Amino acid sequence: MQADRNLTPEQEAELKKEIEQFRSLKKIRMGSSDDISKMAYVVSKQWLKKWKHYTGTPKKRHFAYYDNETNLERKHPGPITNKEIIDETKDFYKSSDLEDIYNTILKPEMREHFEYRIINEGQWNLLFGKYGGVAVKREKFRDEYSSFMKVEVYFHRLNLIVLPDRDDFDLRKISLEKSLFCSKRWNLGRVRERITNVLTDQRYGFKFELEKFRLWKLEPSGNLQSALNQAAEALKKTPEPSNSDDVEINSGVEFPGVPLDIYGKNAVINKLELALNDRIIIELPNQKGEYVFKYRKNLEIKKCEFCYNKRPILVSCKCGDVHYCSQRCKVKDEVYHRDKCTAIDIDEELSKYQKTANSNMGLTGLQNLGNTCFMNSGLQCLSNTWQLSKYFLTDLYLPEINTENKLGMRGKMAHSFAKLIKALWYDSERSVAPWDLKKVLGKQYTTFCGFSQQDSQELISAVLDALHEDLNRVKIKPYVEQKTTDDPNDDSAKDPSWYNFLARNRSIIVDLFYGQYKSILQCPLCYKYSITFDPFSVVSLPVPQDTKTRLIVTYVPYSMKKKLIRTVMAMERDASVDELREQLVETFGVKKYGSLLSIIAGRSLERLVGRNERVGTIGKYQEKNAHLFVQEINPKYFDGAENVGVREKMEEEKKVKKAVNMYGETIESLVSREDYNNGLADDLIKFPLNICGIDRSWSIPKRDVKTFTRVLYTKKSCTLKQLHLEIFAFLRPLFEEELVHRESPYEESKEIPSKKQVEYSSMSDEALFGKVFAGMNEENWKKTVMTSKELPYVLNFVNVRDYDSYSKKKCYYCNEYDCGNCPVPFTSEITVGDMAGKLEGKKESLYSDRLYHDPKCFKLEVILNKNDDKAIISKSNFEPVEAVKMKAGTAKTELSIYDCLDSFVEWETLDKDNLWYCPFCKDSVAAKKKFEFTRAPPVLVLHLKRFKTSSRGRFMGSDRLNNLIDFPLTDLDFTRYLKGASSPVLYDLYAVSNHYGSTGFGHYTAFAWNQERKGWYQFDDSRVSSEDARKVCSTAAYVLFYKRKDIAESVDFAGIRQEIPEGYKVPVVELSKGNKPKGDNDVMNTMSSERDGMADGKVNNTTLNNKNRNN
């Protein structure tokens, strides 16, 4: 090509116009309204570079400096051959259509902006019209996850191998591997069309129709040659006919890969996880439509448990929980899945468990698998249910296993339970591990699948429920209408309701554990009733609670000459502080508002009690060993003339202020919680006072608090000198006797000290202060305090900022960093209000509960210089007005199981969270509810509801009721609770599930009567030991198991079997095909109530999901 060194002005103008047109076309964005073309074009970057140099396109400034071609000759770029980017070396299947874009492919690893550029159709037409060349067209598309248009530059490569049909199956006629290109966005249906259109072209010589071939993806590790050799040998023999509509046997040889057709025609290529090197095998049929390889028609597509690829599932574990795309993945995953596998071979032979001389006979422990003491406790109780254990030990369960019940586990639960029972009774080992049962139970009930802390009562209910479904003698459950009535005296529906229940549920569990009660609901609006008769397996009994709180109250007279008084007061939990004050008036004979209510923990002030609190809140502090102290206010302030009418005025002007806390909750403001200074004038201020000594037994002397914190009042206008006198007057009884002995140390006659005592007691506080603090005045007080060791005590401010010794701050009073509580100045120039004002607006809290912190208060302490303490300030010096017979708390202490049963059958009103929809009023109402027992089961399981929900501020929690509930070991009289009982109904206790600890943590054990050894034993996980029968009844008792006395030890299973009388016709509901429920779960919820009844252990009486209480 000749160089164009000297272009004419016309040529320059033409090239400039060409550049402007190219740039204007470049502004048309893909996907915009101006872009109507579906195609984009790929152009070699090298050709574009030549073209730009030829046309003199200005370069960007930051590139021009490094451009070495700035001064080169301007040559014509020639045609757009794109030879730099088109891959012409590969031989692949091409369409005969010259316009087919999939016939032109790019070299691998070409990069946009480096090796090629994408231009729109207008730009291409401009360049092609002048220079000509080879077009590399690509399709534009809009991605489903993006709003921008994209261009598919590279296509998906299918590496195809075509097999001959089975009638001419010669390995030499297998085609060589050759590629075919298609869009990644195509589905399998469109891919099949391209394969058919291209390969059936006369150039390639293949003959097949669109729908008459199969696509296989060969696994990377698959041995195609071996499979082909096996197939060739198998086709020489007569193939076996297929015995299933889902499988084509053909040659019987498995293809070492996955059939792509199983994904369906709409499966998109880029979602099939096809790698570039994957080989696709095309299998052709013969004229009869027969193929070579074995083919499964209804394979499921799921994620493989090992390789995590979403592929057709070829292999599944026996447990049915995990699936694999190949046998190879299954083998590799066995080491990880083994511990989680719930596969139980129900055909496993259990004959190895036989009774021998060394058999433990029920005294085998259960190993703790990790927070499973709750399970061990429940299983030991069920194991010692002799009637149930004998049923499994004698293999009576085998013919009753129901493998058709959709609600059951196809006999897995029954088999694993039988295996465990035989191990517990016939094994000679000290303990066994219940792994199989835990895995099976965890599969059906996800609550128990892990190792988190659970509840033994819930475990017992779950095991009984699972065993019932596995052993249900009813194979096909009819749809039965529930019997109801609105007459509370009508019991005609009792037997029909029971028979209707038996029409769907008959098993050994129903025979032993199920009874019936009458549920009565009354609407509070229309007063109409709704009565149903429901079955139950576990009865959850409420623990009756006393509504009163017993407070340990200590009354503290203001005068230190008087003794403290301690007593116990019982009040309603919802009683107000005002009602508490009225009770204090009756108990101690004090004025209603003449005292401060404070909570004292040990010897420190925990907090003050606000006027809007409840007695129940105060009682909570007793759990922390903090008690209520009623501290009398100085009578001279309370009865002062300046206080007349103040309280009445404050009551009239009282307004409840509202505020929003940091959690967005509306609360009463701090001001509204104050006790209005107990009605005192605003000039008064309260302050805590600590009385301490110095413990010199340490290398560094320490403060030794002598008594609890006293809360006193003074006036803000009071000077600090007057404050000294007030504190001295308060402490005066401590020093009168000491002063007498100090002035008459050698007098042995009692008359002289007596006269001195009379003399000093008649002196004023100021005069006696002058004797005790002789020589101290306003000028020398500081020196006296610092140097004199004869002073009886020193009065200090408490430095409320000196909490952290590593980051000390200035004291608010003396402005010193190392203030260890500075002395109170003995001066008339500074008032209490001045010192308290230094604390205004400060964030330091004087009390542990900031909700009741008064920032104007300050704190004082008295440091006694001598340690010869007087008994008068001893915290233990109390004068009880009555004997303290009961500990503080909120629950009754003496209860029996009959109290719990009485509470269960009493009328109760449903709360707002359990409203009942009245069919008469057409509204949800807080109905009244009552239970009556109408059928007593052979085995009565009683669950004591020891855990109750409670609200603690913003948090919801639960409390454990630690009452001792007395229950008989023999002769539990159930007669008066069973409606219509004609003879005594008595039960004997044989097992107890125990819970020790609190709601947040604890441990489960079990007590059980062993039928073989005739004695009580304790089961504590792996440990089994003999137990005294007197220890069975304890505060730990949680679930009680009773056996009816008329049930013999040699069980007559035929005698206790529950059956429907021959003459009774079950009212079966015929459902139309369109109205038929989707499954038994829907039926159980909509057509009958036995699921709820199965439970009064599941729905009706499990009011709290008792988590986090074991181990």
Least confident of 10-14, 222-226, 522-526, 579-583: 10-14
The upper half-sphere exposure of residue 301, i.e. CA atoms within 13 Å in the direction of its Cβ, equals: 13
Task: Phi first, then psi: give them for residue 302, nearest 5 degrees.
Answer: -140, 175
Q: Residue 692 is encoded by which pair of tokens?
A: 């301490």
Decide: 933 and 979 in contact? Cβ < 8 Å: yes
DSSP 8-state symbol, 663: T
Q: Region 847-866: what's the mean pLDDT?
A: 59
By C-alpha distance, which of 94, 87, 11 is closest to 44? Answer: 87
User: pLDDT tens-digit profile of 493-507?
Assistant: 999 999 999 999 999
Rounded Cα distance between 460 and 466, Å, is 10
Distances (CA, A) of 114 to 23, 43, 48, 72: 20, 11, 11, 22
Can you give the pLDDT at residue 31? 63
Q: How many CB atoms lie within 10 A of CB 564?
A: 18
The answer to whether 41 and 137 have CB atoms below 8 angstroms apart is: yes
pLDDT tens-digit readout, 350-399: 778 888 999 999 999 999 999 999 999 999 999 999 999 999 999 999 99
The SS3 call for residue 852 is: helix
**650 pLDDT higher than 70:** no
User: pLDDT over 90 for what percent of the chain?
Assistant: 29
The per-residue pLDDT for 958 is 58
Q: What span, in angstroms and rounded, lies between the C-alpha atoms of 13 and 16?
A: 5
d(CA 800, CA 821): 9
585: DSSP letter: H
CA geometry: angle 843, 847, 853, nearest 5 deg: 60
Alpha carbon distance 830, 839 (integer Å): 15
Say if CB 517 and CB 534 are below 8 A apart: yes
DSSP 708: P
Is residue 23 packed enough to be buried (19+ CB in 10 Å), middle (13-18) or exposed (0-12)? exposed
Inter-residue contact 745 to 756 (CB < 8 Å): no
DSSP state of 610: P
Using the predicted structure, report yes or no on whether residue 919 has a pLDDT greater than 90. no
pLDDT at 888: 43
User: What is the Cα–Cα distance from 1096 to 1090, expressed in whole angstroms?
Assistant: 10
- Beta partners for residue 160, in sequence order: 178, 280
| Percentages of the chain per state (helix, strand, coil), in multiples of 5 | 30, 25, 50
Q: Which of 81-85, 118-122, 239-243, 831-835 has the lowest mean pLDDT?
A: 239-243
Q: Report the pLDDT value the prediction gives residue 565, as an integer from 0 to 100.
A: 87
Determine the Cα–Cα distance for residues 262 and 248; give it in Å rounded to an integer. Answer: 14
- The end-to-end CA distance of the chain, in Å, is 91
pLDDT at residue 857, rounded to an integer: 58
What burial letters (b/e) apply to 201-217, b meaning 16+ CB within 10 Å?
Answer: eeeeebebeeeebbbbb
Q: How far are the Cα atoms of 275, 353, 421, 479 from residue 394, in angstroms, in the given order? A: 59, 11, 11, 34
Looking at the predicted structure, is the pLDDT value of residue 743 above 70?
Answer: no
Across the range 624-636, mean pLDDT stands at 87
- Burial class from Cβ neighbours inside 10 Å (0-12, 13-18, 19+) for residue 122 reads middle
Taking CA atoms, 343 is separated from 191, 302, 317, 446, 671, in Å, by 41, 20, 8, 16, 66
Look at residue 849 and tell me whether its pLDDT is greater than 60.
no
Give alpha helix (H) positions in 272-372.
327-337
Tokens 């040559």, located at residue: 75
Distance CA 730, CA 634 (A): 9
Name the token pair of 524. Answer: 């509070």
Q: What single-letter amino acid sits at 525? A: L
Number of H helices, E strands in the chain: 29, 49
Q: Which pLDDT does position 142 carry in this prediction?
A: 84
Q: Which amino acid is at 794?
A: V
> Above 60 in pLDDT, residue 871?
no
Say what the pLDDT of residue 956 is: 44
Could you tell me if 570 and 548 are in contact, meaning their C-beta atoms sit under 8 angstroms apart?
yes
Q: What is the pLDDT of residue 157?
A: 92
Q: What are the tens digits of pLDDT across the range 13-56?
A: 888 888 888 888 877 776 666 677 888 999 999 999 988 888 88
Pull the structure tokens for residue 172.
């030499």
**119-133, 281-295, 589-603, 638-652: lowest mean pLDDT where?**
638-652
Does 645 score more than 70 pLDDT? Answer: no
The encoded tokens of residue 816 equal 């010193």
pLDDT above 50 for 341: yes
Amino acid at 1035: T
* Whole-number pLDDT of residue 765: 80
Spatial contact of 623 and 888, defined as CB atoms under 8 Å apart: no
Residue-wise pLDDT for 109-137, tens only, equals 899 889 999 988 888 988 998 899 999 99
Tokens describing residue 44:
């070699």
SS3 of 763-827: CCHHHHHHHHCCCCCCCCHHHHHHHCCCCCEEEEECCCCCCCCCCCCCCCCCCCCCCCCCECCCC
Question: Hey, what are 784's tokens?
Answer: 């006296």
The two three-digit tokens of residue 84, written as one number: 């730099």
Give the number of other CB atoms < 10 A from CB of residue 861: 20
Cβ-in-10-Å burial (0-12, 13-18, 19+) of 823 comes to middle
**Per-residue pLDDT, 704:** 79
pLDDT score for 44: 93
Tell me the pLDDT of the chain averaged across its residues: 80
Mean pLDDT in residue range 880-896: 51
Dist. CA 179–CA 157, nearest whole Å = 6
Q: Return the bridge partners of 629, or none.
A: 554, 598
- Average of per-residue pLDDT across 770-793: 78
Whole-model pTM? 0.53
Q: Got the DSSP string for 188-200?
A: HHHHHHHHHHHHT
Q: Look at residue 890 in the predicted model and tell me its pLDDT.
A: 45
- What is residue 734's three-state secondary structure? helix
Cα–Cα distance, 393 to 408 (Å, whole number):
21
Q: Which residue has the tokens 């001195």?
A: 756
Higher pLDDT among residues 655 and 224, named by residue: 224
Measured distance CA(380)–CA(431) in Å, rounded: 12
Amino acid at 1081: N
Residue among 547, 603, 598, 601 nearest 577 (CA):
598
Confidence at residue 410, expressed as pLDDT on a 0 to 100 scale: 84
CA 792 from chain centre, in angstroms, equals 60
> Could you tell me the CA-to-CA distances from 873 to 463, 524, 581, 638, 879 in Å, in that order?
62, 59, 26, 24, 13
Q: Give, in order, the Cα–Cα distances in Å from 117 to each of 19, 139, 141, 153, 1075.
A: 16, 15, 17, 11, 63
pLDDT of residue 463: 96
Q: What is the pLDDT of residues 249-262, one digit of tens each?
A: 888 888 888 888 88
Please spell the DSSP secondary structure of 137-199, one letter per residue: EEEEEE-TT-SSEEE--SPEEEEEEEEPPGGG--GGGPPPPEEEEE-TT-BHHHHHHHHHHHH
Q: What 3-state DSSP class applies to 246?
A: coil
Q: CB under 8 Å to 829, separation ≥6 — which residues?
A: 719
